[in-house]
Structure 1
Amino acid sequence: MYLLKLLAELATTDTTPLEQSAPRRAALESLGRFSAKTLAAALPLGLAALPTQAGTTTILDSLTLALQLERLQEAFYARALAAPAGFFPADATIRASIVTMQRHQQQHITLLTDAITNSGGTAPARPNYDFTGSRNGTQPAFFASVFSNFDDFLRLAQLLEDAGVRAYKGQVEALISNDFILQTALQMHSTEARHAARIRIIRQKRAAVVKPWPSPADASITVAGKTDIVYSGENALEQSVPGYRPVPFRLLPIGSGANILTQGVPEAFDELLNTAQASTLLGLFTY
């Protein structure tokens, strides 16, 4: 992530142009006409200098990726809620949480579809989903019991929610030129984070070795060469940007006594998924 560099540049940048929000519809109508490279040229010098995601991701591309991820999660929860009686545990609050999450996804889908069409784009057709990972029986399933074993369902739910959080982070740079869209994306990002934490807490109460946030202490739930992309880079002990000093935990200890912190902590920073990584994950469950 380029968080540290962004903060450094903001400290010396006149942010007045960024604080002048365009009207909602006018902002949406302009999204499809500009590439990330074109938008960067219109930004203050410091922000324009930040690296772009391959230099080609448009705001419309980002909205489309977010729509595909929200559709995937909504379809996943819809199928679980349609499972035979007995699939959900006796604790009614757990099923109620899944119902609430699905409704959130539905609202996100409506908003993103509206944003895409108002920008002059066309929302892609809804694909077919296979949450076993077998791509409609064309390859071995790696989540074969996802809708018959509730703990397997929760494992995939955690993977998809954690992936959604990281994917939204990965699109921030492409959205930074439009205040309205950026704010909306960050609001949905925080909702995804709450979903992920809720799923993790449910798993924790069912004796899974997992924290409410991504941690190296979590028992692995990934499939090598498949879903391990969701947590790639999460074990980084420090954050650094080329040309900037890494976060100096070792030089500036935090705390005192037995609680002193003298080294990096992986949980201190969430990592992102870029467009290619998020698209790869989507491809595991769509056909």
Structure 2
Amino acid sequence: MNFLNLLSEIEQVDPEVYDRLDSRRRVFKHLSGVGQKLSAAALPLFVGAVFNKAYGQTSGGQTVLDVLNFALKLEYLEMYFYRQNAGLQGRVSAINYLALFTFADDETKHVAFLRSTIAALGGTPIADPTAAQFDYSGARISSTNTAGPFGDWRTNPATYLALAQTFEDLGVRAYKGAAPQLMANKTVLTAALGIHGVEARHASHIRSMRRGGINSSNPSPSVPAAPYSALPKSWISGTDNGGAGGGTTLSAYTTPVYGAGVGTSFPADDNVVQGGVTLSGSSLPNASGFPAAAFSEAFDEGLDVATVSTIARLFTVATSTLF
């Protein structure tokens, strides 16, 4: 067993693996004496104990099936959102409208994959919540509880794409946050990270659509402009000024998507501390002059189930207990 290669592979998915185990220096200090103290037969037990310390207490009691069923809830939220795009026909360019259909097809495939995977693992997929469980206007926390601030989402392309960016960015962070909990099943982990990659591409494309203009046949001819709420980069920069609703009355819905979650393992998207090292132009060689945003943009930050649920719940009907 090449333990160092194993750590390196896990670090690709979970850069905080050393922090979960112990400090990097102490990990290698412990490993330096492993060969002298343990027989080959005992080494797997040692490795198991190490990773139990790293991940045994981070899942909040969730199993692989729990994680997959939670992901399924998010996929339903996105699938039913993208399926309801008929009101945008003629209001956006043909290429942008086609992209929305592609996203709907992707999300439908994600739902089917997760359901079949859960069943194959001996679990029971959640019941289809149906579109009736979701209220994309955000009426759940509206003062009147009858019409939310995104009330024109079916026919206003700007509102629709603002919501799409919010859901996709949330989904990307949710998958990243759940990845360590899927370590026990490498096949499932690989597939989940594949979905994570698709969601990230969706997010990037939607950002370019918002930046380029709803009627543009070229999604991203415009230059991103700070604070990025209206003309975002194709990736998250810092906390994106609260996302698509930043600086407006919609910020209560979108800002938490980019904020910190519960616990130190889920920092906000403007985090510049990786592996215990604060990344800055002064702390890294040949990096002087780079702003803090450049360092935060280089890393994706995961988000925990509780925080993701709180955000997603805003887009369900008042009687829903889905999240």
TM-score bin (small chain): 0.7 to 0.9
Q: Is the 8 A contact 1:250 1:262 kept in 2?
A: no
What is aligned with 2:190? 183
| Aligned residue in 2 for 1:104 | 106
Q: Could you say which residue in structure 2 is the equivalent of 1:19?
A: none
Cα deviation per residue 1:206-253 (whole Å; 9 max; x = unaligned)? 263210001148454233433321110445342245xx4444653223
Q: Tell me which amino acid in the other structure corresponds to 2:282.
A: R
Question: How far apart are the structure 2 equivalents of 1:217 and 1:113?
Answer: 33
Q: Note the 1:80-229 alignment, pairs <5 A.
A: 80=85, 82-83=86-87, 85-87=89-91, 89=92, 91-127=93-129, 128-135=133-140, 138-206=145-213, 208-216=230-238, 218=240, 220-222=243-245, 223-229=250-256
Structure 2 segments unaligned to the other structure (5+ residues): 1-12, 35-44, 214-221, 223-229, 261-267
Q: 2:76 aligns with which of 59, 71, 76?
A: 71
Change (3 A) 1:280 1:10: farther
Partners of 2:28 and 2:101 lie apart in 1 by 40
Which range moves more in the overlay, 181-190 or 262-271? 262-271
Amino acid at match of 1:232: G
Normalised by the size of structure 1, how large is the TM-score? 0.77
Distance 1:10 1:176 in 2: 22
Of residues 111-120 and 62-71 in structure 1, the stretch that sits farther from structure 2 once superposed is 111-120
Structure 2 Cα separation of the partners of residues 167 and 268 of structure 1: 18
| 8 Å contact from structure 1 (residues 253, 260) kept in 2 | no
Residue in structure 2 matched with residue 283 of structure 1 by the alignment: 313
Residue 107 to residue 247, structure 1, CA distance change in 2 (3 Å)? same
Distance 1:235-1:184 versus aligned 2 partners, 3 A rule: closer
Higher relative contact order (CA 8 A, sep 6+): 1
The answer to whether the 8 A contact 1:250-1:263 is kept is no
Q: CA RMSD in A?
A: 3.1
Q: For residues 28 and 201 of structure 2, what CA distance do their matches in structure 1 show?
A: 28
5+ residue gaps in structure 1?
A: 15-40
Normalised by the size of structure 2, how large is the TM-score?
0.69
Greater gyration radius: 2
Q: Which moved further from structure 2: 149-158 or 45-54?
A: 45-54
Does residue 250 (structure 1) correspond to residue 282 (structure 2)? The answer is: yes
Structure 1 counterpart of 2:304, which letter? Answer: N
Q: Which residue number corresponds to residue 27 of structure 1? A: none
User: What is the CA–CA distance in structure 2 between the aligned matches of 1:194 and 1:271, rounded to whole Å?
Assistant: 16
Distance 1:172 1:86 in 2: 39
Q: Please list, as runs of the form range in 1=range in 2, the aligned pairs for 1:43-54 lying within 5 A after superposition.
A: 44-51=48-55, 52-54=57-59
